Amino acid sequence: MDIIEMTRELGKALQTDDRYTAYMLAKQANDNDTVLQALINGFENMRLQLNEELAKDDKDTDRIKELDEGIKSNYKQIMSNKNMIVFTAAQNSLESLVNNMNQIITMCANGEDPDTCQPSTGCSGSCATCGGCG
């Protein structure tokens, strides 16, 4: 088995992890939540309107303020939605797992022992062996 095939096997193993399953279920719940989807669409619409207003030469500061307040209010509603709360926690958990996997692969590519190298749980300040901020 070559390294690409082994990586595919690792991907399959990742998809059997409880954190992946929780993420996918939470994502599906978000997609099926019509109230949440309406809030997200409204948020995106207001964000586009704000960008359009900011691009104008004759900016309407009252409209900019109104859109900014609407975006903030909408964002707060989105993030307090029960499905979004569950999704965010599941997403963070999955991202942490993937970051740990990436850190181990990077450490091994830098010559560390695959059996003993440990992913960091916090920022060491060095980006050399980091799998990314998360």
* pLDDT tens by residue, 21-42: 999 999 999 999 999 999 999 9
Q: Of 133, 134, 132, 99, give the one whose Cα is nearest residue 118.
A: 99
Nearest to 110 by CA among 132, 131, 133: 131
What's the distance, Cα to Cα, between the start and end of the chain in Å?
32
Give residue 122's pLDDT.
66
Q: Tell whether the model's pLDDT for residue 134 goes beyond 90.
A: no
pTM: 0.80
